[in-house]
Structure 1
Amino acid sequence: MKKPEQLITEMGQKARAAFTRLAGVSDAQKSAALVAAARHLRTGQAAILEANRRDMESARDRELSEAMLDRLMIDGERLEAIAAAVEQVAGLPDPVGQVIDRSERPNGLVMERVRVPLGVIGIIYESRPNVTADAAALTLRSGNAVILRGGSEATESNRAIFDAMVAGLVEAGLPEDAIQLVPTTDRAAVGAMLTASGLIDIIIPRGGKSLVKRVQDEARVPVLAHLDGICHTYIGKDADPDKALAIAVNAKMRRTGICGAMETLLIDQDYPAPGPLVRALIDAGCEVRGDDAILELDERIVSADDKDWDTEYLAPIVSVAMVDGVDEALKHIAEHSSHHTDVIVTEDTAMAEKFIQRADSAIVMHNASSQFADGGEFGLGAEIGISTGRMHARGPVALEGLTTYKWVVRGTGQVRP
């Protein structure tokens, strides 16, 4: 096996060459490659599920958490969802070449901002093998080349999915180096990617705090970061009780191991039915950790401590606090939110608008479960991740988030005086 630095250098050079070739590829060819890849994912189901079985067996031996196991697991239904997401990306409008805006100067020069690919993208991720397909589909559709580095816990699954995606490229006559998977679990390969300035144009990490921190600390190329999903749901005093209960339970318990899962529930002190809310969560199998006011609602509630308000549980655990109005809810969110997704449940539209304007999060919702924080649910197809930063892209990062722009100036012979 080559040294990680040499390996990443060679992969970066191949990716750069593939990116150059992609500039001459038609939208129809890119779409056809993804349709073919989706077909190979389906016809390769037996091999992919067997690879995932081996990964799951190894992960259990390593005693990975239930949240990690849930993210890692693929069954027939999830594989079909992966293939369908790739097909959905194939059917989306091509962002490359779109004119963002156009203006004409007094001297007759026509100015346009036109979408172009970012270039060579490095994606470093953990656990979720579906990211292999999602990232490959989105980067190819947006005209980028990609170097994928998945976690060691998903080595077999990632390779099987990667093989299906490359088969689609080859079938459509596209450069197979447009999608590459780092073939080693050596952590030094991550370091080599982070310092591959000139070969990799942007790094996108998708994983836990330790991964994201390492990427941000060591990267010598731009980073599009996704931090914790400490998502809040605030139940306003005028919330409809049926909506509030359904949203709170779904936001926490539909899938507890995803970044859009609710981790903190805030209940207005004037909301008339707080007891049924917490009891419904407990009855659904959730551990409730509450402040003093919440502890009085049910003897099964345990006391929350300071760190609970800053914890992404990714498990059937939720912290619950009683707050004095929307201002106190917003104050709590400002102090503890990771700026991912925050929700208000209320029938008071003025209160909802105040919350929407003041909650400084990538996604703000009114009367909906935070579990909708997903590129597919936003109609974007698959997603690379949800950016909680402020630069370049925010919220679900899909095709548009994987492009930048260039200025195109059209003249008729003008010279500057």
Structure 2
Amino acid sequence: MSFGFFGIQFGFALQNANTSRIFSTLGASPDDLPLFWLAAPVTGLLVQPVIGYLSDHTWHPKWGRRRPFFFIGALLASLALFMMPNSTALWMAVMVLWLMDAAINVSMEPFRAFVGDKLNASQQTAGFAMQTFFIGCGAVIASLLPSFFSDVCGLNNVPVNGAIPETVRYSFYAGAVIYFLAVLWTVLSSDELPPEDLEQFRAQKSATGGMGRAFREILAGFGQMPVTMVQLAVVQFFTWIALFAMWIYTTSAIADTVFGTQDAQSAAFQEAGNWVGTMFAVYNGASALAAFLLPVLARRFNKKMVHLLCLVIGGLSLISIFFISQKVWLLLPMLGVGIAWASILTMPYALLAAALPAEKMGYYMGVFNFFIVIPQIVSGLLLGFITKQFFAGHTVQTLMTGGACMVLAGLLTLLVRESSTEAQ
């Protein structure tokens, strides 16, 4: 069920570790990076609720409910991964990022509902934790690929005539193949449970046909969100401001503070990019290991207290990067970030799944994504201004701001009411 996430995370990890590097190589300034990154949250905002709704109202005897969307999204995302490192101008890279993120969202969103469909409440934390494990494994390998192609295969890690380095290009090519094959494995090897009353399901689908009515139902659902979702929305808002800041600015921050350069065409900047890939591999590896502990801790204590602790650890770890000047020591805070990342990918969904009606699982999982993408849009519009006006362009201070937001998100978890059945 969850192996497809191994491939999906190849796409996200390559994007998270290398997109700012690609944009900078093609001439983007640090102040503009958040705006160029808006592709990720905006496509999620537009795509995920629609895909969730459509997958809720889909059933095919062979393909099932969610798997058609797995396959279509994986095919398009793999094509975008091939195109991204071959961009020859900044506008091309930005356009491909929009395509890539839309496609990744098509294949990713139904995976969350897939766990809710097939597992009962007592199994769901373990199910989401298994997704987190495969996410961590995929991201570790993907994040290390540029260093592997540079150090082991001897490919060029420096831009030639302004082109994207060979190490980055071949990393994206490998990611495209692995993405498609991993998702295809889930599509071919897993099955889905048909609706309990197939004739009634078909009758309801016929009655709700038409995209106009679909959009009306999607919008109407916002007024019917479960209380747990509303409470988690506040936590998600500050959590994802922190993550967005980290993904955008870690490369430029580390290049500036540890490698002593802001020149994206320099060998030192590209070396910093490879090291950030190693850092991201560490936090994803830590998340893969932490995924096994989360269900145990959730049973021993409760989901929201585990999430609180993990977010505070992650936020303090991000803040500590400001005080580190040796690259090896940068791996230590990544362990804390990994603990937080494991919980971010597991606990909110485990808390939410128990509160959702089964027939709208895909839709509400898509709506929940709004509270991931809206803070990213806010960050994209404001972080560049804040970095320039308040931090004099020193992006490591933006990382500290993100860390403070993650600590605040942890404290806000106290507002989430967890029922006795969800706590089991």
- TM-score relative to the length of structure 1: 0.25
Larger RCO (CA within 8 A; separation ≥ 6): 2
- TM-score relative to the length of structure 2: 0.25
Bigger strand share: 1
Rg larger for: 1
